[in-house]
A and B are shown apart, each in its own frame.
Chain A
Amino acid sequence: MIEFDRVTVTYADAAAPVLRDVSLVIPEGELCLVVGSTGAGKSTLLGAINGLVPHFTGGTLAGRVVVAGRDTRTHRPRDLAEVVGVVVQDPVQGFVADTVEEELAYAMEQLAVPAAVMRKRVEETLDLFGIAELRNRPVRTLSGGQQQRVAIGAVLTAHPRVLVLDEPTSALDPGAAEDVLAAIGRLVHDLGVTVVMAEHRLERVIEYADSVVHVARDGTVQHGTPGEIMRISDVAPPVVRLGQALAWEPLPLSVRDARRRAQSLRELLDRHADAPVAEPIPAGACLLSARRVVVRYGDTVAVREVDLDLHAGETLALMGRNGSGKSSLLWAVQGSGARQGGTVAAGLDGVDPALLAPVEARRLVGLVPQSPGDLLYLPTVGEECALADRESGSARGTCRAILERIVPGIDPDAHPRDLSEGQRLALALAVQMCPRPAVMLLDEPTRGLDESAKHRFAAFVAELAAEGHAVVIATHDVEFVAVAADRVVVLADGEIVADGPTADVVVASPVFAPQVAKVLHPDPWLSVAQVERALAGARS
């Protein structure tokens, strides 16, 4: 169905090719997962399938890409529209029409599908994705999971035989991600659509994949079964890491595989190692205390009388569905967002940051917004750092030194927009850390980070906590929470529904439990590292 024949892609002004001598064949009806670290060329590989690379992006493509018998050299993306459906990473940015129904029909209108056929296909697609009740809703008012399903439906109405998805679940909460993956699974199993999907959240998707394409940093690729590729991959989900640590053969890919193998491990851990006690929450000084915080937008109440205390040395994960009020709570606590009720007392004197000038407020509570790029606007990393020092009145070089601690070796002459997601987050965090606020709030920081970037980031967060800062991380990433957080607060509809040590809150939860906890249930193990340490202790 999709054939790459010795494909090499080089962008203009690039020193080295993004993809190097790629030859692979993806047969019909397969769900193929594309994995690799950020910046390794996954998006380029996806773009090459429907000719966006090089017709739209520029650059040179040597070799041949053939999809369903059509060569992308002679077919532009629009000529492949009825063969390949492409869903962009952020579905909102790809929407053309206003309402769900019109969006679903858009591609068919372009392909001159007769009106009667269009009507029928729109109804079928609405049912297939379970979005019939949304048909008249404006697309921009939908939730993230609904938007993603509408976006997939909108390309599917043209009846393409190949579906290309770029990180369909990265921005979604676990529940919405399940919905989207179920819809994709139905396409593969019932309709025989060939799906090529890039995704960072391997733990969510690896078990559904028939084959995996691994894009290495040098642009070469390997294509094989998930079991083969996970052995050599730069990135792997926790179950695979657990299997590697215990030298299981074959490697487990799903929680179910691992759980069947883990009988002996559970017994071993029971006998020789103490189950990890829920680490007592470090009882440092109270750095911030919020009482009955209310945030509302018009008639909608985003945050409903929430109480929250933050202590020195604590790393708190704020979890909950998209739209459950996580961001609103962070902004309200920081003082620059809307707050219609309640009190916030920050610092030792207990002042309300909302009443302070921004420069004073950020000394008490810092915040890195969801798109860290919003904080950056100068042409080079070096200038950003220098400005950050001046704004916060810190000694010269403070910001640069913090940046070196998070991610060493970023070129000071690089443009912030050219950095990888992880580097950009590091720069934004370094800028906000300059005045050394006691409390640091981070909104969805791990979105778009690959495994190694997440590790580095988690290590830095741990350092901050050890230095006596309080760190709050709003996130959907359960695996990251398992590694980085020692307390979890779950929000639903603007109210706190759970608050406690990470293990207590997540282990028993069907949505928020990390993979290791699911494998070793009912004991509260959270991460591979914990298990490895316990086993090393048991052996010695």
Chain B
Amino acid sequence: MSERLPRQLHPGAWWLWAIGIGAAASRTTNPITLLVLVAAVGCVVAFRRTDAPWARGFSTYIKLALLVIAIRVVFRVLFGSQHGTTILFTLPELQLPDAAAGVRIGGQVSLEGVLAALYDGIRLATLLLCIGAANMLANPKRLLKSLPPAVHELGVAVTVALTVAPQLIESGQRIRRARKLRNAGSGRRGFVRGVAIPVLEDALDRSLVLAAAMDSRGYGRHDPQSRSSSFVTGALLLGGVGGVCVGVYAMLDGTAPRALGVPTLVVGCVVAVLGIRLGGRRVRRTVYRPDPWRGAEWAVSACGVGAAAVMFVASAVDPANLYPSLQPLRWPELGLLPALAAAIAMLPARLAPPVAVRPASSVSRDVAVAA
């Protein structure tokens, strides 16, 4: 294999990989397995993230994940029904009227209950970290760029909307500062009149200017479309997306009927692709420096899908390992197949092409400064 040039992997590949691991994690509550999966994800992030601003927040995601676990456990301790025999401690119980039967506040706290909440929290946290990792490895805005032409306008709308939030904050700060200068009357009514209305006016003005600028630059140029064909396109797209949603839900929820999962997903995908093809026919536009989809992209997304597949197999072969018993309490163990899944999940740390350390231009500028 010749030496690979540094480049950015297609964002779609990273997202497929992350979703695959998320699907794998959803198959188990075994904390050891989940932690190994998290370690695999963290390892890939450490090796293959860029130094872009969105790639610097893994610690934030970890804090968020810990918060999710903590909330889950605390709620279970306070409100959950505590089946189990190993009582850790007893909280004062709030006596509720009969109408609220089934709801419990306080009372005995069992080890089994707390562990169940902890396992569940870890699973949620793992899913969250997978999404976080995808976010850091691939700029979500670049993912929008790779959208098919039919939904391109939607992508632009999202991009523009994403810039609105910081702008609103900025104009809010500016106007609040100005208000302080004038020391206008305080109070809620004063706030609405003095800050909210000017900020909204500002936002409206900006969006009108932006709309005019985009119009002048050719945004929204396409061939006229007949009513019936736009109806067909819309129906196909909506139906397809609906199918995909139902399919994914059925796949991830272990209790849903088997027949609902894969077939609905496949049919939904086909219908959506048809709709996108049909809609894209009338749009003429090109993409600047499109992200290529090459071997590395196939490999990375295969790793995600592979990890998920191994866990699906594992759940058929050895479900006891994936859902460790709480009654009786048993120490969870790392099974062979889950370990294999984690190993596959970690492969992109080597399979993905190395990242460019920093943009070439800033290097040359530094060199110029040094000279």
Contact = CB atoms under 8 A, between A and B. Distances in A.
B141 to A, nearest CB: 7
B174 A371 contact: yes
Interface stretch (B104-112, B193-201, B303-311): B193-201
B286 A108 contact: yes
A84 B287 CA distance: 22
Contact of B218 (A78, A132, A133, A387): A78
B213 interface: yes
Nearest to B196: A377
A107 B217 contact: yes
A81 B180 contact: no
Contacts of A114: 286
Contacts of A93: 206, 209-210, 213
Contacts of A387: 184-185
B84 to A, nearest CB: 51
Nearest to B177: A336
B220 to A, nearest CB: 6
Nearest to B365: A133
B95 interface: no
B212 interface: yes
A105 B290 CA distance: 12
A122 B288 CA distance: 10
Contact of A81 (B141, B182, B216): B216
A78 B184 contact: no
B181 A334 contact: yes
B227 interface: no
A98 B215 CA distance: 18
Contacts of B177: 331, 336-337, 369, 374
A134 B286 CA distance: 24
A96 B213 contact: yes
B284 interface: yes
Interface string A64-87: 000000000000111111101110
Contacts of B185: 387, 391
A372 to B, nearest CB: 9
Contacts of A52: 212, 215-216
B194 A377 contact: yes
B183 A359 contact: yes
Consensus secondary structure, chain B interface: helix
B362 A377 contact: no
Contacts of A111: 218, 221, 285
B288 A96 contact: no
Contacts of B210: 93-94, 96
A337 B159 CA distance: 32
Contacts of B181: 334, 336, 358, 362, 366-367, 369, 375, 432
Interface string A85-116: 11010100110111001100111111111110
B156 to A, nearest CB: 7
B364 interface: yes
B225 interface: no
B182 A391 contact: yes
Nearest to A369: B178
B361 interface: yes
B343 interface: no
Interface string A221-254: 0000000000000000000000000000000000
Tell which of B184, B210, B217 has the most Cβ of chain A within 10 Å: B217
A303 interface: no
A263 interface: no
Contacts of B215: 52, 55-56, 76-78
Interface residues on A, range: 35 or more
B289 interface: yes
A65 to B, nearest CB: 15
* B174, B197, B361 pick with most chain A CB within 10 angstroms: B361
B329 interface: no
A163 B22 CA distance: 51
Contacts of A81: 216-218, 221
Contacts, number: 159
A50 interface: yes
B178 A375 contact: yes
Contacts of B67: none
Contacts of B359: 135-136
B64 interface: no
Nearest to A417: B201
A374 B218 contact: no
A432 B212 contact: no
B162 to A, nearest CB: 9
Nearest to B288: A105
A221 B201 CA distance: 33
A135 B141 CA distance: 17
A118 interface: yes
B361 A133 contact: yes
A366 B181 CA distance: 7
Contact of B362 (A106, A113, A136): A136
A78 B183 contact: no
Contacts of B211: 56
A329 B159 CA distance: 35
A136 B361 contact: yes
A431 B159 CA distance: 39
A391 B183 contact: yes
Nearest to B362: A136
A96 B182 contact: no
A378 interface: yes
A2 interface: no
Contact of A77 (B174, B184, B216, B289): B216
Please indicate which of the listed interface residues B183, B206, B209 has the most CB atoms of chain A within 10 Å of its own CB.
B183
Contacts of B286: 108-109, 112-115, 118
Contacts of B174: 369, 371, 374
Given A110-B217, A133-B361, A119 B183 contact: no
A432 B183 CA distance: 10
B209 A78 contact: no
Nearest to A108: B288
A135 B361 contact: yes
Interface string A330-360: 0100101100000000000000000001110
Contacts of B193: 377-378
B47 interface: no
A369 B214 CA distance: 30
A158 interface: yes
Nearest to B190: A377
B180 A98 contact: no
A115 B290 contact: yes
B288 A119 contact: yes
A515 to B, nearest CB: 32
A375 B175 CA distance: 7
A86 B206 CA distance: 16
Nearest to A117: B286
A149 B168 CA distance: 25
B109 to A, nearest CB: 46
B160 interface: yes
A7 B284 CA distance: 34
B285 A112 contact: yes
B10 to A, nearest CB: 16
Contacts of A357: 183
Indicate the member of B193, B286, B289, B364 with the most A CB atoms within 10 Å: B286
Contacts of A112: 284-286
A97 B217 CA distance: 13
Interface in A431-478: 431-432
Contacts of B178: 369, 374-375
Contacts of B163: 98
Given A85-B217, A358-B181, 6 more contacts: A81-B216, A81-B217, A112-B286, A118-B286, A136-B361, A387-B185
7 contacts: A94-B212, A101-B288, A105-B289, A110-B217, A110-B219, A119-B289, A373-B198
Interface of B: 141, 156, 159-160, 163, 174-175, 177-185, 193-194, 197-198, 201, 206, 209-221, 284-290, 359, 361-362, 364-365
Return the 6 tightest CB-CB contacts between A and B, nearest first: A81-B218, A94-B213, A105-B288, A110-B218, A374-B178, A358-B183
